[in-house]
């Protein structure tokens, strides 16, 4: 039996990111020219699936909700996925949360405090642009917390995600995998194009100088937090078209798996037809 995309892209245990090809097109039958049409078709299906999810939440007959969590180095494509994959569904059904440097208020609480506030309600698809993982990634690389606190966080994240899943949530964690050369090329392109200067921050190069440390931090996060209930997926993101397709396809696969029916009428259909006819 053919493997699902979920199975093909899932990663767990001790892995070496350097062993993965950032330009792979795992599970996609064709090349860039075929991807636009595939994405359009996927968009139509996603639109229907998302509406079913929303309808069930709206009718309060289901607690299902989906969290699409995006992590990756600068330029790996978190924004591109929000625009081109999440953007395929009705924006009313989305809640997008971008996690930036924590505010003073946020720092007063446990690191999961602000994360919990961003979780999607029943019927919604939540998108995390960065996430709780920053607290074991940049926090580890830049030593923003004590080692024992970082250790505690891996377990806390696993518990947190388990609780969300037990409450009807589906978690889709995507690590957008690019090669260091991909990033160099993309940052250079931003510097060449005045319409992209606003996306560039000199700090991006500072972070880039710690590339190997970040890759290691991601490997540890995957080892510690790719669980049965919330596995990590490695999305080869060297080709933008594949990256967008893969995340959209993964989202569709998960939504399809929920087997959501349209909510039944909670009123007498014939009586309402008669009432309407009389107006």
The beta strands (E) that lie in 124-227 are given as: 125-129, 169-177
Smallest distance, a second copy to C-beta of residue 125, A: 10
Smallest distance, a second copy to C-beta of residue 162, A: 28
Smallest distance, a second copy to C-beta of residue 249, A: 19
* 3-class DSSP assignment, residue 261: coil
Euclidean distance between CA atoms 89 and 100, whole angstroms: 25
Smallest distance, a second copy to C-beta of residue 75, A: 11
Q: With contact defined as beta carbons under 8 Å apart, do 236 and 177 qualify?
A: yes
Euclidean distance between CA atoms 276 and 91, whole angstroms: 31
Residue with smaller CB distance to a second copy, 187 or 234: 187
Smallest distance, a second copy to C-beta of residue 262, A: 5
Residue with smaller CB distance to a second copy, 151 or 272: 272
Smallest distance, a second copy to C-beta of residue 29, A: 26
Partners of 175 in beta bridges: 71, 234
Residue 13 Rama label (left phi>0; alpha psi -120 to 50; beta): left
Residue with smaller CB distance to a second copy, 160 or 214: 214
Residue with smaller CB distance to a second copy, 104 or 203: 203
Euclidean distance between CA atoms 116 and 99, whole angstroms: 12
Residue with smaller CB distance to a second copy, 60 or 163: 60
The CB-side HSE value for 117 (13 A sphere, CA atoms) comes to 9
Euclidean distance between CA atoms 218 and 237, whole angstroms: 15
Residue with smaller CB distance to a second copy, 1 or 271: 271
- Spatial CB neighbours of 98, under 8 Å, sequence gap ≥ 6: 129, 130
Contact residues for a second copy, defined by CB under 8 A: 55, 58-59, 79, 82-83, 86-87, 90-92, 94, 96, 98, 129, 184, 187-188, 191, 194-195, 197-202, 205, 208-209, 262-265, 267, 269, 272-273, 275-276, 279
Euclidean distance between CA atoms 3 and 121, whole angstroms: 30
Smallest distance, a second copy to C-beta of residue 196, A: 8
47: tokens are 């639109």
Residue with smaller CB distance to a second copy, 146 or 274: 274
| Tokens 């080892």 -> residue | 223
Cα torsion angle, 273, 277, 278, 279, sign = positive
Residue with smaller CB distance to a second copy, 102 or 263: 263
Smallest distance, a second copy to C-beta of residue 180, A: 8
Euclidean distance between CA atoms 41 and 147, whole angstroms: 47
């Amino acid at each position: 039996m053919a493997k699902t995309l979920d199975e093909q892209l899932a990663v767990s245990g001790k892995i070496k990111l350097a062993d993965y090809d950032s330009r792979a097109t795992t599970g996609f039958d064709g090349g860039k020219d075929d991807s636009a049409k595939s994405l359009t078709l996927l968009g139509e299906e996603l639109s229907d699936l998302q509406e079913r999810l929303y309808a069930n939440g709206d009718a309060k007959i289901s607690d299902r909700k989906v969290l699409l969590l995006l992590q990756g180095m600068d330029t790996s494509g978190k924004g591109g996925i929000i625009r081109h994959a999440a953007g395929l569904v009705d924006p009313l059904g989305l809640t997008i949360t971008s996690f930036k440097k924590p505010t003073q208020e946020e720092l007063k609480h446990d690191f999961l405090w602000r994360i919990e506030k961003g979780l999607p309600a029943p019927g919604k698809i939540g998108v995390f642009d960065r996430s709780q993982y920053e607290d074991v990634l940049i926090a580890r690389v830049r030593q923003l917390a004590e080692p024992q606190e970082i250790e505690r966080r891996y377990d806390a994240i696993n518990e947190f995600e388990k609780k969300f899943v037990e409450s009807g949530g589906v978690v889709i964690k995507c690590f957008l995998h690019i090669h260091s050369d991909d990033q160099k090329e993309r940052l250079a392109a931003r510097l060449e194009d005045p319409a992209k200067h606003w996306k560039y921050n000199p700090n991006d190069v500072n972070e880039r100088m710690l590339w190997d440390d970040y890759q290691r931090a991601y490997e540890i996060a995957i080892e510690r937090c790719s669980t049965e209930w919330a596995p990590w997926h490695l999305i080869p993101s060297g080709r933008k078209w594949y990256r967008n397709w893969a995340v959209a396809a993964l989202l569709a696969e998960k939504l399809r798996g929920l087997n959501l029916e349209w909510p039944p009428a909670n009123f007498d259909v014939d009586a309402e037809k008669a009432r309407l006819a009389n107006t």
